[in-house]
Structures are given as structure tokens and as C-alpha cells.
Structure 1
Amino acid sequence: MDILKPGSQELLPAVVFVPGGGFMSANKDSSLQQRMTMAESGYVVASIEYRVTPRSTFPSPLEDVKSAIRYLRANAAKYGIDPDRIAVMGNSAGGYLAAFSGTTNEVAAFDKGDYLHLSSNVQAVIDLYGLSDLTKVGYGFSKEVEAVHDSPSAPEGMWVNGPAVFGPGGSIHSNPEKAAKANPITYITKDAPPFLIMHGDKDTLVSPNQTEILHEALVSQGVDSTYYVVQGAGHGGPQWVQTEITDILIAFLDKHLKDKKTK
């Protein structure tokens, strides 16, 4: 975990940043410019690592995210964090895990490890071009791309079923019950925290359909969800660090964390 902490005598809200990496890497050094901007705006920003495929499978990575949140609550005084104001943010696979963390507030099954007496709940979620329904990652693309995602060697297949060399393996469609359990939409209730979801309309790796169906599922349960399609933006790239995007991220965090300051 890398922590950016503004100089302040007050307890500050925190953002747990979950990096993407196609389920196969989790580089906590990524998105430094975005994280620095958030820290400069008055947030303690913790960028984390988590277990990845093929060595690990779901739900181990989600357990890691929740462990990081509990760790920050346990060490809130050390890092100057208000433990009642923690958001989670991620991009790509990290966006999927961030969304999953938010939809599973109060789901004890994913709390493993240390500090289990503390909550892993978050008060807000930012999902940047993340996946949601792993059985539909290829939707909206060509038949050839869909076929690739139906392979046992596709990242989402190994994420849920593991590679054949370590176990049974199988495509994401080989075990519908396990795939459903690895879908953040499965766990949505009306009590989920507010979401900010953004996706580029030129994304050729993760279809905007993935975040659209998540947003629709949240809204259908009465959850406060805001959805932006960023014109001309791809899967990552310079568009995502422009001022227009950063301003939206900070305004969302300010509304749901700074305006909820502990009295």
C-alpha cells in the first residue's frame, strides 16, 4: 500500500485506489497523477495491491480490498483518516473490484484476515471503465472477440475458475453459479453507497455496456448512481487525467465525503 497524506491537523476522508491490470497485475504505482490531485484536494489516498490470476481466483482479490479498508480504519489515527469517511475507487479490473466492494457492504462472507472487528464498508464508490458482468465482457464487440472471451484462457475465466494447470479451469460460461457470485450486480441492495461511474465511448477492451448495466442495476434498486460516457476516451490514456474529468471526481468525493464530515 502506498499512502499519499496531505499535511493537516484534521482527520481527513480517505480514498482507497484499486489499480487495474486485466485481473493479471495490480500495480499500486499506477494513476499517480490522479492520486496526487486527490491528495492535493484534501484526501488521504491509499493505492493498494491485491492477489491476481492465475495464482489466485475470486474472491481472494476482493478480500484483499476489504482487508485494506479495515487496515486503514485500524490505523486511522496514524494516517490522519476519519474512519467514517472512506471511498473506494478503481479503473478497469480495479473498477470492478471497487464496485464489488461497494455492493457488498455488510456482506461478511468477503471479510477475511485481520481487523475483523472493524467494518470494510465504504461511503462512496468511483468506477472508471470497470467490468461488471464477467459473462458479457465480449458483448458489443465482434464475434471473434466474443470467442476469445469464451476461452478458458481468457482472464475472466481464470479469475473465476482458475487455469487448468492449477485446477479444473474452464471458460466464464462453464460454471454459471460461480460466475454469478463473481458479479457485483448480484449483491446490489437499496443500501449500497453512492456511485460515480465513467466509461469512454472508444474503449475497445471493456465495452461501455459493462458499466451501463451496472448503473441501470443500481438505479433500479434506488441507489444514487451517476453515469458519464466520456466522448473520445479509450481504455485509460490521457483523457482520464484532464481537468474536466478530475473536477468531476473531486466534486463527487466532496459531496459524499467532505459534506458528511463527522461532527
Structure 2
Amino acid sequence: MNADPQQLPELVLARSVAPSDTSTSIVVSGASEPQIRTGVVGVTAHTDVVYVTRQDADGADLPMRLDLLVPQTPGPQPVVIFLPGGGFVLANKEAALQRRTFVAEAGYAVASVEYRTVLTGATYRDAVADVGSAIRFLRAHAAEFGLDAANVAVWGESAGGYVASLVGTSQTTDLGVRAVVNQFGVSNLLKFVDDFAPDEQQALLRPGTAAARFVFGPGTNLSLADDPEAVAAADPARYVTDQTPPFLHFHGSADNVVPPRQSLLLHTALLEHGVESTRYVLTGARHGDLSAVLGDPAAALPWSTEEVLGYITGFLGKHLHA
């Protein structure tokens, strides 16, 4: 499922970034060095694996694909589902290859999963359903690929972090997700709007934005402000219980695409329910997953350091190798 390269996410950039409370978070440097290196451990790549076939708006078959990286080490490997960002418009499974490879070399089978977006008339519910189908597919084919599919984590960036958070908080009982990594993902879309200047809010609250379509469905004439209850139902924090799996959050203090308060809202809800939740705030770091779209490749560098990826692999090791 490849998006039209001319169809880019609708982005509104905040002119200033309101700082979020860091009293329950860990503040670290947003330095871009040292960068991760790969190639230490052999990795087998399985590309364009069809994990389920959906139908598009015209009823035609829509094969959904994933790319799977499996380390060439003995024994079945725990599974990490990676969900790329893309402003609810794109879900490019080829994204973040070096970071995915680094995690695979650390001892995990990393499946980068394309999920449906507004380009195919999807809502957040459809995206969550796609992740569930991918997990079930990998579990059914665990012997074929050498997977320990009883141990599954979900890791997403930006819109992918939002979908990962929804999977972690609202997952059906058969998914068995044991851990969630949320990198600069949205949580509450109305509070998201509140962190922008008045004219920027007007742009975000236009009827039929990508975010509105991802909540309400294709062809909507609603804005996010027109149905607050439906927007609240799309907030992963609503579904947190004391049974929710552990979360690891990351946000840049200078993120002007997804304000830092978004990860804080979910982090706080998790802590209030007694769920293990750790939040890192990278000083000065910006929004990484859309660095090419934003014309700022340097924005991605703080997110591919040994320090940040070390936090991720350490968290995965704690919860998938226990």
C-alpha cells in the first residue's frame, strides 16, 4: 500500500513550543552524537509480506504489508511491531530502517507494519485493527520466521506512536502486547490544538482535516471541535486500566509538530492507574519522523543516538526477555 508521493501530511507548525511539566519525567540532552551503528549482527530481511487483505473504498482488494527483520541468532526472537508516522496520511513501512535494524541486532524480530490511513478512507479504529491482524499473522507464522510471538511489543513514532498507544491501551485480550514505546505521539487531539496560537488553531480546526477524517471517517464535514465526545473516544488515555502494559515515552522539548504535553497527558493517566510508565524529554529536540518532509534532516539525529536507542532496547529487554 504505497501512498501517492505527492500526498503529504497536512502540517501546522507551532511558532513557539509551550514547555510541559517534567516533574514525573526524565530530562536528557538532545545531543545528536554518538549515532548508532549497525552491521554487528547478521539480520535476515523479509520484505513486502502480506499480513492481511482489506478492501478499499471501491471494494477492490487492498493487500496490507510488513517488512520483517530477524536477527541471525539462535532461538526464537521476541517481536517488536514498528508503526511509522505520517500525519494520519502516510504509513511508510520502509521508514526508520537503521533504527529498526539496530533493535533487531539487539535480539528482536522487528516488523515494520503499514496500516490504513485517511488515503484509504480509514479511521483510527481501522489502523488499530490492522496492527491486531499483523500480530495475529506473525503469531500464526512464528515457526516459519523464527519468532517468539508470545512476547510482543509495539513501538511507534508520531501518528504511529498514537496508534501504538491505542493498541496498548485498548487491545483485545488475544493480542498480548507486553510493552509499548511511544515516540512523540498524539494523545488528546483537542488538547493538542490548545497548544497552538489562535491562527494555528483555526487551521487545525478546519473541517475535514486529516486528523478529523481519522477520527470521524472519510468525507466528514466536521472539525475536531464539532464532536468532542468522539474525539475523547479516540484518546488512548481513556482506555487505561491497571492491566495496561508498561509504556516508554519520548518527546523533544522543541517539538513544534506534536507539542510535548501530548505524551505527558498519557504518561500521567498511566501513572494514575498504577501502570509502569517512563517519559524521557530530550532537551532541544524536534519532531524526528517527518524531518525529510519538514526539510530539516538534522531533526532526526537526536532520535538515532546510542543513548535513545539504548533506552528502547533496555526497556524491551526488561519486558520481553523476563
Output the TM-score relative to the length of structure 1.
0.90
Paired with 1:136 and 1:156, the residues of 2 have a C-alpha distance of: 13
The alpha carbon displacement at 1:149 in A equals 1.4
- Within 5 A, what are the aligned runs for 1:1-263? 1-54=66-119, 55-106=121-172, 119-163=174-218, 166=219, 168-236=220-288, 237-258=300-321, 260=322
Residue correspondences, number: 245
The alpha carbon displacement at 1:158 in A equals 1.4
- The residue type paired with residue 158 of structure 1 is R
Runs of 5+ unmatched residues, structure 1: 108-118
Contact conserved, 1:139 with 1:207, CA < 8 A, in 2? no
Paired with 1:105 and 1:50, the residues of 2 have a C-alpha distance of: 16
The alpha carbon displacement at 1:177 in A equals 2.6
The alpha carbon displacement at 1:175 in A equals 1.7
Deviates more, 1:134-143 or 1:217-226: 134-143
Q: Structure 1 or 2: larger helix share? A: 1
Paired with 1:76 and 1:196, the residues of 2 have a C-alpha distance of: 26
Paired with 1:29 and 1:98, the residues of 2 have a C-alpha distance of: 17
Contact conserved, 1:90 with 1:96, CA < 8 A, in 2? yes
Q: Secondary structure at the match of 1:138?
A: helix
Q: Structure 1 or 2: larger strand share? A: 2
Contact conserved, 1:180 with 1:186, CA < 8 A, in 2? yes
- The residue type paired with residue 2 of structure 1 is D
Q: Secondary structure at the match of 1:95?
A: helix
Contact conserved, 1:137 with 1:149, CA < 8 A, in 2? no
Output the TM-score relative to the length of structure 2.
0.74
- The residue type paired with residue 228 of structure 1 is Y
Deviates more, 1:73-82 or 1:19-28: 73-82
The alpha carbon displacement at 1:197 in A equals 0.3
Q: Secondary structure at the match of 1:15?
A: strand
Q: RMSD over aligned Cα, in angstroms?
A: 1.3
Deviates more, 1:70-79 or 1:191-200: 70-79
Q: Secondary structure at the match of 1:137?
A: helix
Q: Secondary structure at the match of 1:5?
A: strand
- The residue type paired with residue 284 of structure 2 is G
Which contiguous aligned blocks of 4+ residues in structure 1 show a shift greater than 3 angstroms? none
Q: Secondary structure at the match of 2:265?
A: helix
Paired with 1:106 and 1:63, the residues of 2 have a C-alpha distance of: 10
Once the two structures are superposed, residues 90-143 of structure 1 have per-residue CA deviations (whole angstroms, 9 ceiling, x without a partner) of 000000011111001336xxxxxxxxxxx2220000000000111222232211
Contact conserved, 2:70 with 2:77, CA < 8 A, in 1? no
Q: Which has the higher contact order (CA 8 A, sep 6+)?
A: 2
Paired with 2:70 and 2:243, the residues of 1 have a C-alpha distance of: 30
Contact conserved, 1:138 with 1:207, CA < 8 A, in 2? no
Contact conserved, 1:104 with 1:188, CA < 8 A, in 2? yes
Paired with 2:149 and 2:161, the residues of 1 have a C-alpha distance of: 22
Q: Could you say which structure has the larger radius of gyration?
A: 2
- The residue type paired with residue 185 of structure 1 is A
Contact conserved, 1:161 with 1:169, CA < 8 A, in 2? no
Percent identical pairs in the alignment equals 42
Paired with 1:121 and 1:42, the residues of 2 have a C-alpha distance of: 19
The alpha carbon displacement at 1:9 in A equals 3.0
The alpha carbon displacement at 1:169 in A equals 2.7
